[in-house]
Amino acid sequence: MGLIPAPRHISRNPSGRGRLGRATRLVAGPGTEGVARWLRATVGAATGLPLAEGGSVDGAGDRIVLGVDPALPAEHYRLVVDGSQCRVQGGDAAGVLWGAQTLRQLLGPDAFRRAPVRPEREWDLPAVTVEDGPRFRWRGLMLDVARHFMPKEGVLRYLDLMAAHKLNVFHFHLTDDQGWRVEIKKYPKLTETGSWRARTKFGHRASPLWEEKPHGGHYTQDDIREIVAYAAERHITVVPEIDVPGHSQAAIAAYPELGNTDVVDTSALTVWDNWGISPNVLAPTDNTLRFYEGVFEELLELFPSEFVHVGGDECLKDQWRQSPTAQARIAELGLADEDGLQAWFVGHFADWLAVRGRRLIGWDEILEGGLAPGAAVSSWRGYAGGVAAARAGHDVVMCPEQQVYLDYRQHAGADEPVPIGYVRTLEDVYRFEPVPEGLTPEQARHVLGTQANVWTEVMEDHARVDYQTFPRLAAFAEVAWGRLPAAADRDFAGFERRMAVHYRRLDALGVAYRPPAGPHPWQRRPGVAGRPLDGPPPSR
């Protein structure tokens, strides 16, 4: 069967086999209508079976029956296949969808195609009972579309891939020094100017190579509404990220008054065409605050998520140290230093969002200088930020770069395309433990979950994103979903055996994953410099 993520409990039923055929009907109980639509659009399309409506939840005949069982916890499901009857019950609609995803896996790799390859066949199923549910409420994937833009169709495709792996939070990194990707009607230059750069560094920033053509693009507000609705149908929450006060050169290029005009000629800035961390950061002025309040007002209309991500990472403060305006604000607020100024800036938006019923989340640098109550932390610089946040009573999403940054290289071999960072193999990701050691049970409850991050500086198209993301996202999904043994005790050999089946599903989905034996010739990038780091990654 090769189920991924592995379910908590699976047993065989006496009938020995199940089947789907042209007579199979799909019965959707109250609250499961969306899952029924998804099944017809995916499994129905792949099998060629009509999955017609008909019959009652308690009736007889060849049927798939979907239902909500309030006795089950949220996102949990029970799948029973017995002869021509298949029942999927969930604690809520999300649980029903996760059960339907498992049903799709049981049908075999051809159930992941877009049209039938054997249209006249009946589809066999193992007669099993599967009972399952997630460990974490936040099972996330962050996709950086600022460095390399991914068109809307690619984003929708990744939402489907997430749902197939029972991931439920899409962290949408929409702005950075190299591009602004979301339409803000109040400030049209953010996309007119800020979404395009003149050229792009090819490879790591130390590479001498450039792609000498404009790169860019953005999502209209209707595109965003479509993405959010598409995600919601798959029980995925979209958390937008607008980076402040650093990683903001694209915004400053569009509206120079947002920058530190008393230090640099911001009118001469363009959208950044290189990688790394730009020194051009937002000015800590009332004008900047009002501008970004206008941005977030439109953003809240587009994204109904509880959390809004404000970045807050890697804010170089040299310009603030040189800026009379910034220094005057530090004195006016009675702050100790520039770290305190960043905390004030982030705290302003934490309060602003809280008044509107939302919660701020940011990278772990937002802890420096103090963090507003109710704000949450994405711990990326190892475990330390997450430990500090949880001990201080803040909710945490664990995404340490040393473990789950999927832009890091997958092998030490010379053929790895544009090798970045430490080697993080499929097994390394499988042995990642999201809850840090040393937390009390009460502190550990602040760990909302975990997230894999895909930064796209050296990923010029969706095939490169696929290569870096898969198959490691499958291992991450099992870590995020299941209650696995301690890292050293996990059955990686068993996971590999299940992956042998799962690779065929990824093939059917058209995923350009890294093969176990190494990259295909067309996946290599000979002569394009990366930045490999040797040895084990530091434990922080």
φ, ψ at 82 (rounded to 5°): -145, 100
Strands (DSSP E) contained in 252-345 are 307-311
Alpha carbons 363 and 94: distance in angstroms, whole number: 28
Q: What angle do CA 331, 332, 338 make, to 5 degrees?
A: 45
Alpha carbons 148 and 469: distance in angstroms, whole number: 15
Q: What is the Cα Rg of the chain in Å?
A: 24
Alpha carbons 314 and 278: distance in angstroms, whole number: 9
Beta bridge partners of 12: 128
Q: How many residues does the chain have?
A: 540
Render the burial of 156-189: b for 16+ CB within 10 Å, e for the rest: bbbbbbbbbbbbbbbbbbbbbbbbbbbbbeebee
Beta bridge partners of 377: 362, 396
How many CB atoms are located within 10 Å of the residue 368 CB? 16
Catalytic residue among 75, 132, 176, 183: 176
Q: Has 58 been annotated as catalytic?
A: no
By the 8 A CB rule, do 490 and 466 touch? Answer: no
- Which of 69, 65, 32, 67 minimizes the C-alpha distance to 51? 65
Q: Has 176 been annotated as catalytic?
A: yes
By the 8 A CB rule, do 163 and 127 touch? Answer: no
Q: Whose structure tokens read 């941005």?
A: 295
Q: Where are the alpha helices (DSSP H) in 255-308?
A: 286-302
pLDDT at 537: 87
Q: Please report, for residues 24, 59, 129, the alpha-carbon distance to residue 78 in angstroms, rounded to integers and kept in the order given.
A: 20, 19, 7
Task: Please name the residues in contact with 65: beta carbons below 8 A apart, sequence gap of 6 or more.
Answer: 27, 29, 57, 85, 86, 87, 88
Written as six digits, the tokens of 275 are: 């990688």
Task: Please name the residues in contact with 509: beta carbons below 8 A apart, sequence gap of 6 or more.
Answer: 112, 160, 161, 164
- Which of 421, 411, 422, 423 minimizes the C-alpha distance to 458? 421
SS3 28: strand
Terminal CA-to-CA distance of the chain, rounded, Å?
A: 38
Enter the DSSP assignment of 74.
T
If you write DSSP's letter for every residue of 392-410 in order, what string do you get?
TT--EEE--HHHHBTTS-S
Written as six digits, the tokens of 437 are: 């050691």
pLDDT at 58: 66
- Which of 252, 234, 82 minimizes the C-alpha distance to 168? 234
Alpha carbons 105 and 100: distance in angstroms, whole number: 9
Alpha carbons 523 and 412: distance in angstroms, whole number: 15
Written as six digits, the tokens of 107 are: 């049908």
The number of helices, as runs of H, and strands, as runs of E, in the chain is 18, 23
Q: Whose structure tokens read 């960072």?
A: 421
Show pLDDT as tens, one digit a residue, over the chain (540 residues): 899 999 999 999 887 788 899 999 999 999 999 999 999 999 999 999 999 997 666 666 689 999 999 999 999 999 999 988 899 999 999 999 999 999 999 999 999 999 999 877 789 999 999 999 999 999 999 999 999 999 999 999 999 999 999 999 999 999 999 999 999 999 999 999 999 999 999 999 999 999 999 999 999 999 999 999 999 999 999 999 999 999 999 999 999 999 999 999 999 999 999 999 999 999 999 999 999 999 999 999 999 999 999 999 999 999 999 999 999 999 999 999 999 999 999 999 999 999 999 999 999 999 988 888 899 999 999 999 999 999 999 999 999 999 999 999 999 999 999 999 999 999 999 999 999 999 999 999 999 999 999 999 999 999 999 999 999 999 999 999 999 999 999 999 999 999 999 999 999 999 999 999 999 999 999 999 999 999 888 876
pLDDT at 540: 64
Written as six digits, the tokens of 206 are: 């130390």
- Which of 185, 179, 166, 182 minimizes the C-alpha distance to 228? 182
Alpha carbons 384 and 436: distance in angstroms, whole number: 9
| pTM of the predicted model over 0.95 | yes
Alpha carbons 26 and 36: distance in angstroms, whole number: 7
Catalytic residue among 165, 171, 173, 247: 247
Specify the pairing of strand 210-211 against strand 200-201.
antiparallel
Alpha carbons 251 and 368: distance in angstroms, whole number: 24
Catalytic residue among 62, 82, 131, 314: 314
